[in-house]
A and B are shown apart, each in its own frame.
Chain A
C-alpha cells in the first residue's frame, strides 16, 4: 500500500541521513590518515590526492602500537568480565529487594561514579604507587572497575526489574536456589541489555585517557595514551593521530558487530509476560 511504502521510504531516508552524519567525520578522519598535514588543510578539500603510507609506517615502527593494543585489549576485557561478574548478582538482588537498604545501596553505587576524574586522580596515583602497581595493567583495570560496576549494575537492575516474579517463582518451585534461578531463568531474558552494557563498558574502558595516563609510564600504556603521546601538543601530528585512531577502531568495531546480534527481542518474553 502506498502509505506504508511512503513510511518505509521516510524511514530509510532518515536512517541513511543519520548514518551519513555519523560517518562523515569518521570518514574524514580515516582519509586524513593517508595524507600529510598540509594536504589535510587544503581548501577546497582534496578528494583526489597523492596518498601516503608514512603515517602507518611510523606507527608500526618499534612495536609500541602492538604493545598499547594488547594492553588496551586486556584492560578492557578484564573490566568487562569482572564488572559483569560483580554487577549481575548485585543488580539482581537490588531488583528484588524492596526495602530502604536496597534503595540506599543502589543510590550509593551510582553515586560512586559521579566524582570528577581530576579530583580523584592524585589519590589513585598515590594508592597505586604504594601498592607498586604503577605502570601495570592492573592499576588501570582496577580503577576502571569503579566506573564500570555502577554502570552495569544499574543497567541490569532496571532490566531485571521488568522481568516478573513469576519467572523465577516457577524455577524456585522446582526447588532451585535464588542464585540458580538467576542463571537459569533471569539472565537469558536480559541478554540484550547485557550486550549493550558489555559494548559500552568495553568501549569506555578502551577509550579512557586520564587515569590510564597518570597510572602508566611505558609498559602498560593503553591506546589513548599512545595517541596523545605520539601526536601531542608540540607539533600536533594530526595524521598520526588519525592513523592510530583508524587502526584502533577495528577491534571495537569487530566487538560491536559480534555482540550486536544479541540486541534482538527476547526469546521467551512474549510467553511469560501475558
Chain B
C-alpha cells in the first residue's frame, strides 16, 4: 500500500496548500457581520447570516431558479452528450472534422456565449428572436422578455455551451469499451437497443456519473452566461444563487452574507454529489 500513498501525496499536498486558506476564510467570514462600506470592520455574528438568508425571499427565489436551471441543464447536456458521443463513434466520413466542430462551443468564454445568445434571441434585433420567430408566426413571444421563456433561453444557452464536456468524456469512455464485447454480442444476434442496454450503459456508468458531478458543479456555479443574457431578469426569473452571492458580495459589499451563500452553495453541491459518488465507489 505504501507506494500508492506516495503517488497520492503530491496532488494532495498541492491542493491542500492552495485551498486551506480560502476554505478557512470562506467559513470564517460567513459567521461575521462585515460590511465593506462600514469602516468599523467585522464583528462576530454567529449564525445570523444564515438565519437571515433562510428567511429572505430573494434567497428562496434564487435557490428555486438555481435548482430548476441546474436540473434542466445537467440532464439535457448529459443526454445530448451521450447521444452525440454514440453518434460520432460510428464510422462516419468527416468524423474528425465534425467532432472538432461539436466541441467548439466550450472553447468560447461563457461571457461570449451569453452575448451571442442574447443577441440572437433578442426580440428587437436578433436573427432568431426578431426575424425567425416572426417568420414562423411566433412574433408575439419574447424569448428574453417573458419570465418563463427567459429561463428556457438561458438553459438552452448553457446546454449549448457546455455539452461538449460530457461529449468528450463519453467519447473517451466509449473508446474504452473493448470491441470484443460488441462483436460477441452481434454474433449472439443481439439488437442495437439490447447492446446499448447491456453493454454500453453499464460500461458507461462511471463516466456518466463523473460527468454528472462535474456538470452539476458547473451548473450550480453558472454566472456569466445568465448575467450577460438577462442580468437575472426579467424581474428575478433567471436570478440564480451565484448571482445573489455576487451581488451581495461585490455590490452590497456584505461579505458575511456573501460567504454564507457560498457555504450553502458548497454544501448543496456536496450533498447532491455524495450519493452519486457512492454509487461508483467500491
Asked if A and B touch directly (CB within 8 angstroms), the answer is yes
CB-CB under 8 A for A158 and B210, given A94-B8, A105-B12, A270-B179:
yes
Tally of A interface residues using CB under 8 Å: 102
Chain B residues near A209: list those with CB within 8 A.
Answer: 109-111, 224
Chain B residues near A190: list those with CB within 8 A.
Answer: 176
Which of B103, B246, B249 is packed against the most chain A CB atoms within 10 Å? B103
B187 at the interface (CB under 8 A from A): no
Q: Say yes or no: B171 contacts A196, CB within 8 Å.
A: yes
Residue in B closest to A146 when the chains form the complex, CB atoms: B18
Binary CB contact string for chain A from 141 to 156 against chain B (1 if under 8 A, 0 otherwise): 0110110011101110
Q: Say yes or no: B11 contacts A257, CB within 8 Å.
A: no
Q: Say yes or no: A119 contacts B107, CB within 8 Å.
A: no
- Our count of residue pairs bridging A and B at CB distance below 8 angstroms stands at 276
Main secondary structure of the interface of A (DSSP, over half): helix
Q: Say yes or no: A25 contacts B178, CB within 8 Å.
A: no
Q: Say yes or no: A195 contacts B172, CB within 8 Å.
A: yes
Chain A residues near B59: list those with CB within 8 A.
Answer: none
> In the complex the two chains form, what is the Cα distance from A263 to B220 in whole Å?
29
Q: Say yes or no: B223 contacts A118, CB within 8 Å.
A: yes
Stretch among A16-24, A49-57, A59-67 lining the B interface: A16-24
Chain B residues near A179: list those with CB within 8 A.
Answer: 3, 7
B60 at the interface (CB under 8 A from A): no
Stretch among B42-50, B93-101, B146-154 lining the A interface: B93-101
Q: Say yes or no: A93 contacts B5, CB within 8 Å.
A: yes
Binary CB contact string for chain B from 109 to 126 against chain A (1 if under 8 A, 0 otherwise): 111100111011000110
Residue in B closest to A16 when the chains form the complex, CB atoms: B98
Pick the residue among A124, A154, A204 that contacts B22 (CB under 8 A).
A124
CB-CB under 8 A for A273 and B281, given A105-B8, A146-B15, A260-B100:
no
CB-CB under 8 A for A90 and B8, given A158-B206, A192-B175, A224-B109:
yes
> In the complex the two chains form, what is the Cα distance from A19 to B90 in whole Å?
15
Q: Say yes or no: B169 contacts A119, CB within 8 Å.
A: no
Q: Say yes or no: A97 contacts B112, CB within 8 Å.
A: no
Pick the residue among B88, B111, B242 that contacts A116 (CB under 8 A).
B242
> In the complex the two chains form, what is the Cα distance from A21 to B117 in whole Å?
12
Chain B residues near A199: list those with CB within 8 A.
Answer: 103, 168
Chain A residues near B107: list those with CB within 8 A.
Answer: 203, 206-207, 249, 252-253, 256
Q: Say yes or no: A253 contacts B127, CB within 8 Å.
A: no
B137 at the interface (CB under 8 A from A): no
Stretch among B68-76, B193-201, B269-277 lining the A interface: B269-277
Q: Say yes or no: A178 contacts B262, CB within 8 Å.
A: no
Pick the residue among B8, B15, B177, B178 that contacts A150 (CB under 8 A).
B15
Distance to closest chain A CB from B69 (angstroms): 14
A15 at the interface (CB under 8 A from B): yes
B143 at the interface (CB under 8 A from A): no
CB-CB under 8 A for A18 and B84, given A93-B4, A105-B12, A118-B258:
yes
Q: Say yes or no: A224 contacts B7, CB within 8 Å.
A: no
B19 at the interface (CB under 8 A from A): yes
Q: Say yes or no: B117 contacts A115, CB within 8 Å.
A: no
Pick the residue among B21, B99, B175, B281 that contacts A103 (CB under 8 A).
B281
Residue in A closest to B101 when the chains form the complex, CB atoms: A19
> In the complex the two chains form, what is the Cα distance from A112 to B165 in whole Å?
19
Q: Say yes or no: A113 contacts B217, CB within 8 Å.
A: yes
> In the complex the two chains form, what is the Cα distance from A263 to B174 in whole Å?
9
A264 at the interface (CB under 8 A from B): yes
A69 at the interface (CB under 8 A from B): no
Pick the residue among A28, A107, A115 that contacts B127 (CB under 8 A).
A28
23 cross-chain CB contacts under 8 A? A26-B104, A29-B112, A40-B119, A40-B125, A41-B124, A43-B131, A107-B274, A110-B213, A114-B273, A118-B245, A119-B26, A145-B15, A149-B11, A154-B213, A178-B3, A193-B176, A199-B168, A207-B109, A209-B110, A227-B109, A249-B107, A261-B96, A270-B180
Q: A26-B108, A29-B112 are in contact. List 5 more A-B contacts (CB 8 A).
A: A15-B87, A118-B249, A120-B26, A155-B169, A245-B109
What 3 A-B pairs are tightest by C-beta distance, nearest first? A119-B262, A89-B7, A93-B4
